[in-house]
Chain A
Amino acid sequence: DAGVIQSPRHEVTEMGQEVTLRCKPISGHNSLFWYRQTMMRGLELLIYFNNNVPIDDSGMPEDRFSAKMPNASFSTLKIQPSEPRDSAVYFCASSFVPVNYGYTFGSGTRLTVV
C-alpha cells in the first residue's frame, strides 16, 4: 500500500491566488481528515469526511477554505483567495472506522503564500 498520498509536496503562491491541495486516502479507508499545522497553533483539524460526506467543518477558518470528496479515493482542499497567514503544512489523514481508530497521515503539503 502506498499510504496516504498528498500533492503537491510544496506550493508557493502569491497572495490572492487560488490554491488546491490534493489527497488520495488509503484504499478501503472510509474516513478522511484535513489538518493544518503551524508553530503557533499546532495541529488543527479543519474538516473530516465519513463515507465521502463532510461530517464536521467547524475547523475551517473562513469561507475562503473549502473541501470536497467526490469519491472514496480523492479529496481536495481549496483556498481562494489565499493569504500569507494561510502559510502552513497541510496534512491529510485517513482511517477505517470503526475497527481502527488510528489515522494514517500523508507527508503533507507545505504551503507558502507570499
Chain B
Amino acid sequence: AQSVTQPDIHITVSEGASLELRCNYSYGATPYLFWYVQSPGQGLQLLLKYFSGDTLVQGIKGFEAEFKRSQSSFNLRKPSVHWSDAAEYFCAVGEVLTGGGNKLTFGTGTQLKVEL
C-alpha cells in the first residue's frame, strides 16, 4: 500500500530565509506526487504536482519541489519565505485505481511558522 511520511511536524523559519519541507513516499510504481497547503480554517490548495518528465517542478507562490526516485523523496522548497507562507503543508501520493478514479494518500502534514 502506498504511504507518505513527513518527518517534520513543526518547522519555524525566519522571514526571508530559505525553506525545505521533507516528504518521503512508498509506492510500487511511478508515483504521482503532490504538495498541498492549508491555511487556518481553509481547505487544501494545490501547490504543485509531479507526474513525469522534469524532476524539478514549479508551483504557485514561488514554491518548487524535486522528485528523487533513488531517495523516494519529493521535498518542497522555497528560496525566500514570506510571513504569509505560514500554514500547514501536506504531501500526497496518488494511485490510479482499477475500479475507476484515483486516490490520494496524504502525509500527516508539516506546520510552518514564520518568524518576523
Contacts and interface: CB of A to CB of B under 8 A. Distances in A.
Interface of A: 4, 30-31, 33, 42-43, 45, 48-51, 53, 55-56, 91, 93, 95, 97-98, 101-108
A104 B109 CA distance: 18
Contacts of B90: 43
In the A-B complex, list the 4 residue pairs whose CB atoms are closest, starting with the nearest: A50-B101, A105-B43, A50-B100, A105-B44
Contacts, number: 66
Interface in B62-106: 90, 94, 96-97, 99-106
Interface of B: 32, 34, 36, 41-46, 49, 51, 90, 94, 96-97, 99-109
A104 B100 CA distance: 18
A51 B94 CA distance: 18
Given A43-B90, A50-B99, A103 B46 contact: yes
From B36, B41, B103, residue with most partner A Cβ within 10 Å: B103
